[in-house]
Structure 1
Amino acid sequence: MDRAQLVIHARDSIARGSKSFRAASQLFGRETRERAWLLYAWCRRADDIADGQDHGHGMSAVADAPARLAEIERLTALALVGKPTSDPAFDALGVVVRECGIPHDLPRDVVRGFALDADGFQPRHADDLYRYCYHVAGAVGVMMAMVMGVSAGDEDTLDRACDLGIAFQLANIARDINEDDAAGRCYLPDDWLAEVDVPPGETMRPLYRSRIAVLAKRLAKQAEAHEAAARGGAAALGFRDAWAVLSAADIYTGIAREVAAQGDHAWDHRVVIGRAQKLAWGAKAAMLAANRKRIPRIDRTGLWTRPR
């Protein structure tokens, strides 16, 4: 496919895979929007290969995780050196990396997240959880900042972009505890589970729902802390980019807050944010973006920070 065809493929991928990201991406200017779609297409495809999914749907335990990881590594390596891969999502990665000057270490960091899952990752402590969140989402946040024109030398803004990715992933983990459990995964740290006396492998037993709800609230609180720090990075962006980022931030921390609010019933059905609420948050984000230079740059002291 040529670039225009890759963009169409990526647009269709985000439409099928994430209504929230698709809605936020519409706020970007054309060039940034296309590049965001191209990057998303690679992330979505690699995740689908790793988990045997179709655009994020139907995750289940896979019997050939090492082979799937090897395929992701092979295709990513080809894309990064500009070689055709025969997979449009990986070709899309090659395009956006070249156009935006994204360091190859960043997509490789994301692939390391898939390697963690392939190896049966289970965090023992909170630091393990944050390291995982960096690999599967924080590094993507850093790449997205570069797509929006943030330079590789602006470490503080890139840290805040990483914060936003981590906030998104913490919200996803809180929302998807039930789905992850069905696939044989658990991203709640061992010491957290021990603290509330939930035995390993029994996360979703009805007996323990109220205890898991306590941990989901903790995830939501941490997501909000990283999201609050991330907002300060909006000052480095143009209006449309800041509008999109602030809208996405509201949507995903909204998911985390809703999971926390529903308590024991948070996993009776998948938590989603309705169109009307998304529009309201989008309007609020537009006003904040117009005054983005006034958004306070909250001190990040105490927050987990990406590796240098």
Structure 2
Amino acid sequence: MAGLEYAIVHTKYTIPVALLITILLQPFKTSVDNYKITCLLIIAVTSTIPWDSYLLKNDVWDYPEDAVIGTTFWKIPVEELFFFVIQTYITSLVCILVSKSIIPTAFLPTLPVTPPSPSIEEANLRLQKKKYLVQNDYKRLRRIGLFGAIFIASLVAIGAKLVHSGGQGTYMGLILVWACPVIFFLWGLSHQYILSVPYKNVLIPILLPTSYLWFVDTLALKNGTWVINPDKSFGIKLWKYLDIEEAVFFLITNILITFGQLAFDHTLAVINGFPEIFNFAIPSWPPFSVMVRGLSMAVRNYTPRRISNLRDAIMKLQNKSRSFSLASSVFEGRLRIDLVLLYAFCRNADDLIDEAETREEAQKALAKLSEAISNTFSYRRSEKASFKIENNLKSSISMLYNLPEEMASSLEMLPLEVLPVKPIQGLLEGFGMDLRFPSTDKTEKKQVPDGEFPIRTESDLKRYGYCVAGTVAELLLHLVFHHYPSKGITKKERAEIIQAGVNMGIALQYINISRDIAKDALMGRCYIPSDWLAEYNLTPAMVVEKADRHGVRLLRRRLLRSAIEIYHQNRSAIEKLPTHGGARKGVRGAVENYVEIGRVLLERDGDMPIWNDETVSKSRRLWVFVKALCA
């Protein structure tokens, strides 16, 4: 095995791990991820070669000639050069994998503001928000940042002294004076972002690869693959065979790689999060000048209201939709942000109507919202105020139209400049159909005649499905084509794709109705067409009274089969969507995840629980999602 010992270390330990993580990440990987990895690989290799060559020339560490193949560069064996690449690659992959669950812009720090005295409801909302997002206390972040800078600078000073003194502290000193200035630089630029993201996003990419590389290094040192000069090291072992210098080296290099990845996330969060400042399309591989501009942008120039509103939207998404929350991790950049904002708007509008105490209040709220949308849409288009977020706009919308603050903020954030108004109006029409159900007034207990139920025919059902779901699909696809226009798709093909999306939205709404028949009955609603029910001598009022009836189960099966048929007729259109920005993967994942609910309901044909929140188990949901991404 002479000449292969170092290569065997990679073959047995580093390459298999890199391949495993690559496979795990591949379904979620985007072009931006490739960009970040490529940049860090170039930086890591070019910065480490001179340093490692210096260590070899000065006998800080060495390797037996029979342990390597023999090819060297600046005295560095090719296996060691590969180690620079493989470590950077592994740690970058882990960092990217754990960061998929967050939208970086939501974790940008903001300057302190003096808000009005919060109501009890607003105070409770802020307490809930802490469960999902770290509050960015600007002063606290600055204090911790200053302490961290002093600590890192102290390590540089200690390292310089050890190198100057020579002897056994040389290796440790060289590690510190090489790595800590770069860490100091990254910390100075991005410490507020690093401190704001969840701890797991920082600690896992540092500690997990470090622990594994400690294990690999221990085996290599035990087998004599490389040797540390005892005259240049302290001789302290973290455990048997693992020198403290080697342990610090892998820890500190993984800190470098992780901080580098987070610095990339930081600048991408800025340039994607503030289109009013970076008012141009951001390519998947942004120019270096744009990245520098984003990273060097002062916190005082951020738009605090946009960050705050985005956090509200994310919390709404995490609370209300597991399917779309999972799918959103695949989308990237501004598309992901706009889709989350679109979801929050639709959900807030739905809640605004559903949570009204009486039908009259709900109708007034719907009228106010309709007026607010119409006027805001006209203003944005006439003024060409693309992506412009005024500091007082939120309160203006809230005060002008007497809308709840959360509803006003989601309307403020909605990118109306690039969306057609017709599907938004259609969405409101769907809410109006809900208000025609007899049980809208929560205070009323009287029996209501069947004729007041609005879904009388299959045509009514299809119209309702379009209004509450097809419109959302239409808006989603408009955002996709806005952010990633495809030159290879004609206007006619684009219209056909959008129509297929509308049909798919209707199919998903049919599945949603099938799942929630009993749940809707508790609200006094029945979305099964009255003429369908008549075939089994049933009425909507009978379903509301008792949802678990034999005829209802048969009609649910009919509705599900109709949904699956529409799904099969239109799913090929997904493959015509742009691949950029995770658009195709994200849409496919979201659709398949939701269609799986229909499949499970058909499997459980005899069951009809009142609550169906766990229709599909988390493990099955994840498996279906990953399969869809890999398709």
Query: What is the one-letter code of the residue matched to 2:603?
Result: A
- Which consecutive residues of structure 2, in runs of 5 or more, have no partner in the other structure? 1-303, 381-392, 399-404, 438-452, 486-490
From 108, 131, 138, the counterpart of 2:425: 108
Distance 1:188 1:207 in 2: 11
Offset, 1:204: 5.3
What secondary structure is seen at the aligned counterpart in 1 of 2:609? coil
- 2:547 corresponds to 1:250: no
Further displaced range: 64-73 or 126-135: 64-73
Distance 2:603 2:339 in 1: 31
- For residues 63-110 of structure 1, give each alpha carbon's deviation from its aligned partner in whole angstroms, at most 9, with x where no partner exists: 6332232233233234423464233444434544345x1111121111
Q: How many residues align?
A: 281
Distance 2:531 2:411 in 1: 37
Q: Output the aligned Cα RMSD.
A: 2.4
Who is 1:155 aligned against?
495
Distance 2:535 2:608 in 1: 21
Who is 2:371 aligned against?
74
Structure 1 contact 210–264 (Cα < 8 Å) conserved: no
Structure 1 contact 42–90 (Cα < 8 Å) conserved: no
Who is 2:626 aligned against?
283
Structure 2 contact 530–539 (Cα < 8 Å) conserved: no
- For residues 159-197 of structure 1, give each alpha carbon's deviation from its aligned partner in whole angstroms, at most 9, with x where no partner exists: 111022111211110011112111111110011000122
Offset, 1:3: 2.5
Distance 1:162 1:246 in 2: 14
Query: What is the one-letter code of the residue matched to 1:113?
Result: G
Who is 1:192 aligned against?
532
Structure 2 contact 518–548 (Cα < 8 Å) conserved: no
Distance 1:165 1:130 in 2: 10
Structure 1 contact 69–115 (Cα < 8 Å) conserved: yes
Structure 2 contact 518–611 (Cα < 8 Å) conserved: no
Distance 2:610 2:598 in 1: 15
Residues 136/206 of structure 1: CA separation in 2 closer, same or farther (3 Å cut): closer
Who is 2:601 aligned against?
259
Structure 1 contact 251–278 (Cα < 8 Å) conserved: yes
After superposition, residues 1-308 of structure 1 pair within 5 angstroms as: 2-52=305-355, 62=359, 64-80=361-377, 81-82=379-380, 84=394, 85-86=397-398, 87-98=405-416, 101-120=418-437, 122-149=454-481, 154-203=494-543, 209-239=549-579, 240-270=582-612, 271-288=614-631
Distance 1:268 1:90 in 2: 33
Structure 1 contact 24–245 (Cα < 8 Å) conserved: yes
Distance 1:266 1:61 in 2: 29
Distance 1:50 1:205 in 2: 23
Structure 1 contact 177–267 (Cα < 8 Å) conserved: no
Residues 19/126 of structure 1: CA separation in 2 closer, same or farther (3 Å cut): same
Query: What is the one-letter code of the residue matched to 2:314?
Result: R
Offset, 1:259: 2.2
Distance 2:330 2:358 in 1: 36
Query: What is the one-letter code of the residue matched to 1:92?
Result: S
- For residues 138-161 of structure 1, give each alpha carbon's deviation from its aligned partner in whole angstroms, at most 9, with x where no partner exists: 011000011111677621000111
Distance 1:260 1:242 in 2: 27
Query: What is the one-letter code of the residue matched to 2:629?
Result: A
Structure 1 contact 76–90 (Cα < 8 Å) conserved: no
Distance 2:575 2:539 in 1: 45
Further displaced range: 108-117 or 148-157: 148-157
What secondary structure is seen at the aligned counterpart in 2 of 1:146? helix
Residues 208/8 of structure 1: CA separation in 2 closer, same or farther (3 Å cut): closer
Using the size of structure 2 for normalisation, the TM-score is 0.42
What secondary structure is seen at the aligned counterpart in 1 of 2:549? helix
Offset, 1:18: 1.0
Structure 2 contact 309–413 (Cα < 8 Å) conserved: no
Using the size of structure 1 for normalisation, the TM-score is 0.83
Distance 2:527 2:547 in 1: 19
- For residues 228-267 of structure 1, give each alpha carbon's deviation from its aligned partner in whole angstroms, at most 9, with x where no partner exists: 2332222232332111111121221111222233234222
**Structure with larger RCO (C-alpha < 8 A, sep 6+):** 1
Offset, 1:132: 0.7
- For residues 259-289 of structure 1, give each alpha carbon's deviation from its aligned partner in whole angstroms, at most 9, with x where no partner exists: 233234222431532221122112211222x
List structure 1 runs of 4+ shifted beyond 6 angstroms.
none
Residues 7/230 of structure 1: CA separation in 2 closer, same or farther (3 Å cut): farther
Offset, 1:112: 0.9
Offset, 1:62: 4.9
Distance 2:542 2:512 in 1: 20
Query: What is the one-letter code of the residue matched to 2:619?
Result: A
Q: Give percent identity, aligned residues only.
A: 27
Distance 1:179 1:275 in 2: 21
